[in-house]
A = this chain, B = another copy of it.
Amino acid sequence: MNEMDRADVVVIGAGVVGLAIAYEAARRGHSVLVLERDRIGAGAAGVAAGMLAPASEADCEDPALISLALESCRLYPGWVASIEADSGMRCRYRTEGSLLVALHHDHLEELERLAAFQQGRGLDVRWLTAAAIQAREPGLSPRVIGGLFAEGDRQIDPRFYMPAMAAAIRAHGGEILAGASVTSIVQSAGRATGVCFTLAGDDREVRGTVIVVAAGAWSNGPLAGVLPPLPLRPVKGQILRLRPGPPLRHVIRTADVYLVSREDGELVVGATSEERGFDSRPTAGPVMDLLREAWRVLPLIYELELAELGVGLRPALRDGLPIIGPSPLDGLWLAAGHYRHGIMLAPVTARLLLDAMDSGDIPPLLAPFQLDRFTQNTTQGVPVP
């Protein structure tokens, strides 16, 4: 293979955020190289359910994050259409909305809190009676006592979406190297000028006008020796895949579990949030709990094949918000810490990061997501990374 020895944009990480940035850059006419130490989809997004749910997940979130999420969801239909046109592949983007159902009074109280919060911000939810929910999804447990319909929620299948993005990048002349493990970011005259990596045992180097680190929970690896480590940690999420799932018309959520139905008959059940470091083993208790909560809301899962136990490591920064913007080193940019929202935020991250690169100005929507929020807080007693 005769790969690039320089590119306008070198992206480290072929997760959903890295691919989105590479796609947006390639579409704007930049030459693009993506370096992925594992394979496309090996990270958190590859096991994720792919919900695009600013209304269902808005509870207690930062207002700036909600604004960013709503903008990303607004972009999604056109973004997907463009990827599908460029790749000739489908992303399995679906628009049926979510049902947030209550199985008991505690669930109902949580939904009331969520509904008040969402309606106060103009997010689109409405109450449904138990009978109305049963009419929409006849397979649900008769123990459902009511719920919310989040009509604006969407979903996308990461296992189709990410390969489609990769194909779209290549269609624009971009290149993706899987198995390329970054060893260092090269600096020259006070700016980042390239990336050293190993591929199949060989040491290689690529020069880049711009280097973007989008390596999820592993982002501090490439930054070693260049920046102080980000206050970044993995948050373990366990998720199950059942087959053949029932053809649910909506994403189903309780306070304890969600169920996402795919058109090919897969039912995704998720997800835990665990502070376990870089531990990617499925474990007995969380699998038991997910199965039990899913079975409570959709009893017919009992007979389904338990086809896959998945684990993803979500990249969480100290404040739970991402960094999307430049670093103190010229030429080095960051798109990291998207936590549970990488898939939802991928289009807006890519679009606005490229706007910032191309114009030199940080778009207002990105202002709250800059690295300096960690480095400027020394007077408030927050440890500096």
A interface residues with partner B (beta carbon < 8 Å): 240, 242, 281-285, 287-288, 291-292, 294-295, 301-307, 309
Task: List, in ascending order, chain B residues with CB within 8 A of A301's CB.
Answer: 284-285
Whether the Cβ atoms of B309 and A284 lie closer than 8 Å is: no
6 contacts across the A-B interface (CB closer than 8 A): A240-B284, A281-B306, A281-B307, A284-B301, A287-B306, A291-B291
Task: List, in ascending order, chain B residues with CB within 8 A of A240's CB.
Answer: 284
Cβ 8 A contact of A284, one of B242, B283, B284, B285 = B242
Whether the Cβ atoms of A306 and B292 lie closer than 8 Å is: no
Give the number of copies in the complex: 2
Whether the Cβ atoms of B288 and A295 lie closer than 8 Å is: yes
Task: List, in ascending order, chain B residues with CB within 8 A of A306's CB.
Answer: 281-284, 287, 309
Whether the Cβ atoms of B305 and A281 lie closer than 8 Å is: yes
Task: Tell me whether A288 and B282 are in contact in the complex, defined as CB-CB below 8 angstroms, given that A306-B309, A309-B306 are known contacts.
Answer: no
Cβ 8 A contact of A285, one of B281, B282, B287, B295 = B295
Task: List, in ascending order, chain B residues with CB within 8 A of A281's CB.
Answer: 305-307
Closest chain B residue, CB of each to CB of A242? B284
Complex: how many Å from CA A306 to CA B288?
10
A260 to chain B, nearest CB (A): 15
Task: List, in ascending order, chain B residues with CB within 8 A of A292's CB.
Answer: 288, 292
Whether the Cβ atoms of B288 and A284 lie closer than 8 Å is: no
Task: Tell me whether A288 and B285 are in contact in the complex, defined as CB-CB below 8 angstroms, given that A306-B309, A309-B306 are known contacts.
Answer: no
A310 to chain B, nearest CB (A): 12
A126 to chain B, nearest CB (A): 31
Complex: how many Å from CA A70 to CA B307?
39
Closest chain B residue, CB of each to CB of A282? B306
Complex: how many Å from CA A285 to CA B240?
13
Task: List, in ascending order, chain B residues with CB within 8 A of A307's CB.
Answer: 281
Task: Tell me whether A283 and B309 are in contact in the complex, defined as CB-CB below 8 angstroms, given that A288-B291, A291-B288, A295-B288 are known contacts.
Answer: no
Complex: how many Å from CA A70 to CA B303?
37
Q: Give the one of A282, A288, A302 with max B CB within 10 A.
A: A288
Closest chain B residue, CB of each to CB of A303? B283
Extra contacts, 8 of them, besides A240-B284, A284-B291 (Cβ < 8 A), are A281-B306, A283-B303, A283-B304, A284-B301, A284-B303, A285-B295, A288-B291, A292-B292
Closest chain B residue, CB of each to CB of A302? B285
Closest chain B residue, CB of each to CB of A287? B306
Task: List, in ascending order, chain B residues with CB within 8 A of A303's CB.
Answer: 283-285
Whether the Cβ atoms of B302 and A295 lie closer than 8 Å is: no
Whether the Cβ atoms of A295 and B284 lie closer than 8 Å is: yes
Complex: how many Å from CA A240 to CA B306?
12
Complex: how many Å from CA A281 to CA B244?
11
A300 to chain B, nearest CB (A): 10
Complex: how many Å from CA A302 to CA B283?
7
Complex: how many Å from CA A303 to CA B292?
17
Task: List, in ascending order, chain B residues with CB within 8 A of A291's CB.
Answer: 284-285, 287-288, 291
A160 to chain B, nearest CB (A): 24
A226 to chain B, nearest CB (A): 35
> 3 tightest A-B contacts by CB?
A285-B302, A288-B291, A281-B305
Closest chain B residue, CB of each to CB of A299? B285
A130 to chain B, nearest CB (A): 24
Cβ 8 A contact of A304, one of B284, B294, B305 = B284
A380 to chain B, nearest CB (A): 36
